[in-house]
Structure formats: C-alpha cells, structure tokens
Amino acid sequence: MRFLRQSLVGIFLAFLTLALVFVAVQLVTSAVQEALNRESEPPEARERIFAVSVQPAELETVTPYLEAFGEVQSRRRLELRAALGGRVITLADDFEDGGVVAAGEVLVELDPADAQSALDRAKSDLLDAQFEERDAERSLLLAQDELNSAEAQASLRGRALQRQKDLQSRGVGTPAAVEEAELAEAAAQQAVLARRIALAQAESRVDQATTLLARARIALEAAERDLDDMTVRARFSGTLTDVTLVEGRLVSANEKLAELVDPNALEVAFRVSTAQFVRLLDAEGKLIDAPVTVSLEVTGADLTATGRISRDSGSAGEGQTGRLIYARLDDAPGFKPGDFVTVTVEEQPLDNVVRLPASVLDAAGTVLVLGPDDRLEALPVQLIRRQGDEVLLRGQGLAGREVVVGRTPLLGGGVRVRPLRVEARADPDMVELSEEQRAQLMAQVEASDQMPKDVKARVLGQLSEARVPASLVRSIETRAGG
C-alpha cells in the first residue's frame, strides 16, 4: 500500500513538471513571435523639438571699447646727481627709498671746503680785475692829455714855421731859421704820433681790463654755483626711489644719488594695434581725447582710475608693431609707477548696431533666427566689433528678429525649436518660464525615480524661482525625451 502511494505521488510530480515545461515553452514562443512581429512594423516617426534660448535683436547706439595692457608711468621723474665730487656730510631724514620730500627741501649736503676756497679765490681775482680796470682808465685819461699837449705843441711849431717863411719872403729872415723851424715842426709831429700810439695802447689796456673783469665775474659766478651745487635740493614734491647713498660716503661728479618721482602726475602707456589706433582717430586724422579706465587687480580689492588720452608716440619703435599711446590719469590713488594695468578705452559711438551674446555667431558669419512655426532660419550678418562676451552686429532683416542664444551643432536651418525667450541685455543663461511650463517641468522632476532626493529638492527649488537656468531646463527636457 505504501509503495502504491509513493508511485502515485511520483507520477503526479512528473506530469506536473511536464505541464510546467509545456507552459514555459508556450510563453517563450509567444514572446518571440510578438517581438518579431513588432520589429517588422515600421516605427512611428516623431520630429525632435529642441528647447533654445532666444533674444530679440534691437537696434541701438553703442559706445564700444577696446582693452589693452599698459604700464603706469610718472610724467615727472628726476635723477638726483652730484654736480661735483665730495664727501657727504648731511642727509635728510627722509632720504631713503620711499621717502616723501617737499619742494625745496635740502636732501644732501657735500663737504663745501674746496668749493668755498675756490669762491674766495674768485672774489680775490675779481678785486684784482677791478683794480686793473681803474688803473687802465686812469692811464687812458693821461694818454689823452699827453696827446692833446703834443698836438698843441705841434700847432705852435707849425705857426712858428709859417712866420719864418713870411719873414724870408719879405727878405728879413734867413734860410737857416726857416730850416730850424721846419725841424722843430717835424719833431712836434713825431711827438704827436708817439702820443697817439700811447693812447692806443692805453685803450687796448682798458679793453683787456674789461675782459679780465668779465672773466673774473664769470669765474665768481661759477664758484658760487659750485658752492650751491654742494647742496642737493628737491625740485618738486615727490617720492624718492633707487636711493644708493649713505652719510660719509665719497661721491664722484655726476654720480646718481637717487630718483625723485612725482606720484601725483601719473600717466599710462599702452600699445594698440594699427587697426585699433585707426578707430581712435577723428575725421581729420587726429587722435581723440577718449576717456580711459585703468584697473589693477590685487588680492581682496581692485584699484581703478580714470583719465583721457593725451598723445601718441612719435614713432612705432624699433622691432615693435602698432602704436604706443599715452593717457593722463586724473586721480589715481594707490597706483605706483611701474604697475602693469588693464586699460579700457571708450571708442567713438556706433549707430544702428545690434548687441548680442557672442554665442549667437558661428564661424560662417551667420546667426539663427526664429521663423514661422518656430523653425530656425540662418541669417548672414556683419560682425562690427567683439566686446568681451558680446558682439556688435549689422545685417539686413536682423532688426526685430529673435536670435538663438547659445547655439549648438544640433541646431540649424529648418530645425523646429521650443523658444525660451530672454530679455535683451539680460543673462542669456537665465530664462523666465510660464506657469504651464513650470508645472510641467516640476512634474517631470517629481516623477523621476533616478534622481536622488537631495538633488530633486534642489532642482525643485530652482524651478520655483522667477528666473531659471536655461541649462537646467534643457537637461530636464532631454531626460524626458526631448
């Protein structure tokens, strides 16, 4: 009986196993046939729609700018040099690198002993020259008197000779007397000639004395200047730099002691290309006094200053290209000569241009605009200027159109899109959503099972804001199948 019961159980299990195998074979067969039938059916075609950010193109007058790098310089730099050699006996308290000095302040005093001795000798030579001049003038007066006396005596001798000739003509005088009078008259003329020579020598002595006096005065002035040059003074208020002097040092003539820089008379020198330089010229070809902004990026704070273009360099420079331009700074607190700064120059205004983000333009010089049925159209434009992350464009039919911002290789002419409108001159990475779009996106995020809870909460918080990142919107729509 027990054997019969076990045999029936075995038969039942065998039939149950065969039934299960038969059911499994039927399921697999039906699944394979269903898959083969599904593959043979043509898939339903569905056009993919991309979400893009668009911005309206508005004509406006824009003042472009160009950026360059330059160096801050001082318009007043003075090298302090020793005119004469000597030993340093006194230095100013502020005569050090970075010391601030006032105009007229005594900075360096050299030992004036030799210069004082030279000045005393020059004064003594001047006195000798003055004495010589007075003596020469007295000698000239005496020579003139002697000449007058000799001329008077020659006149008397001439009248005596005339009388002797008259007496001889009347038969009273003798030839010997006439001859004696002629000899006396000749001697008198010889004396006049000698006195004239003496007068000329006296006049020449006066001239020499005058020249000697002038030279003595020149030597005295030079000695006074040399004595004054033993003291070095500040020609203007400023800051000292490159100081290489200590008290007691022996310096030589024309040796550089320091450099005086005026920190309030600063300018910036920057180099631009020839094309950029042309844009800074007016109708007459003259450089405009365009406003400039100078900035220096430092840790924790940025230094800025304003100014205007004053001039350009007279030559391009050996081995250089472009043009070197100088701009005077109005007020530049914190700037020092030698600072390497960024210079922003305002150019002349441009009329009837469209300002858009640089991501709207491709390499072929076209932009994608929104056409009928939200399909894209390629529109050729002219690039006027690049301004950082923006471009200035002109193009026929561009004004008033909605231009795609942040284009990708998937976008092109004829592609249908879902526009996310961005306000002009707003951040192209932020868009405003309608209530319907916001609710749809939030529902897609809440229905996602792959997104962690903390990430989901953060994304929902971003979607609840007035402006939503465009990249976030595109990411959500891509996950949902476009």
Least confident of 36-45, 122-131, 335-344: 36-45
Does the pTM of the predicted model rise above 0.95? no
Q: How many domains does the chain have?
A: 3
Among candidates 86, 91, 92, which has minimal Cα distance to 111?
86
Instruction: Confirm whether 70 is domain-assigned.
Output: no
- The pLDDT confidence band at residue 471, using thresholds 50, 70 and 90, is low
Instruction: Confirm whether 447 is domain-assigned.
Output: yes
Instruction: Confirm whether 97 is domain-assigned.
Output: yes
Q: Which of 221, 245, 260 marks a domain boundary?
A: 260
Residue-level pLDDT at 39: 53
Same domain, 117 and 251: no
The residues near 175 (Cβ < 8 Å, ≥ 6 apart) are 168
Instruction: Confirm whether 373 is domain-assigned.
Output: no
Same domain, 88 and 182: no
Q: Which of 229, 247, 275 marks a domain boundary?
A: 229
Least confident of 103-107, 223-227, 309-313, 460-464: 460-464
Same domain, 196 and 242: no
Instruction: Confirm whether 454 is domain-assigned.
Output: yes
Residue-level pLDDT at 410: 81
Instruction: Confirm whether 195 is domain-assigned.
Output: yes
Give how far Cα 83 sits from Cα of 110, 112, 235, 251, 253, Å: 10, 13, 15, 10, 5
- The pLDDT confidence band at residue 315, using thresholds 50, 70 and 90, is confident
Same domain, 118 and 162: yes
Instruction: Confirm whether 460 is domain-assigned.
Output: yes
Residue-level pLDDT at 425: 46
Same domain, 249 and 171: no
The residues near 190 (Cβ < 8 Å, ≥ 6 apart) are none
Judged against a pLDDT cut of 90, whether residue 326 lies above it is answered with: yes
Instruction: Confirm whether 117 is domain-assigned.
Output: yes
CATH of the domain at 243: 2.40.50.100
Same domain, 235 and 224: no
Same domain, 128 and 209: yes
Same domain, 148 and 218: yes
The domain of 467 spans: 429-482
**Amino acid occupying residue 188:** A
Same domain, 148 and 238: no
- The pLDDT confidence band at residue 431, using thresholds 50, 70 and 90, is low
Between 246 and 344, the higher pLDDT residue: 344
Same domain, 477 and 457: yes
Same domain, 100 and 170: no
Same domain, 149 and 190: yes
Mean per-residue pLDDT for 252-272? 88
Report whether 325 contacts 312 (CB < 8 A): yes
Q: How many CB atoms lie within 10 A of CB 457?
A: 11
Residue-level pLDDT at 64: 87
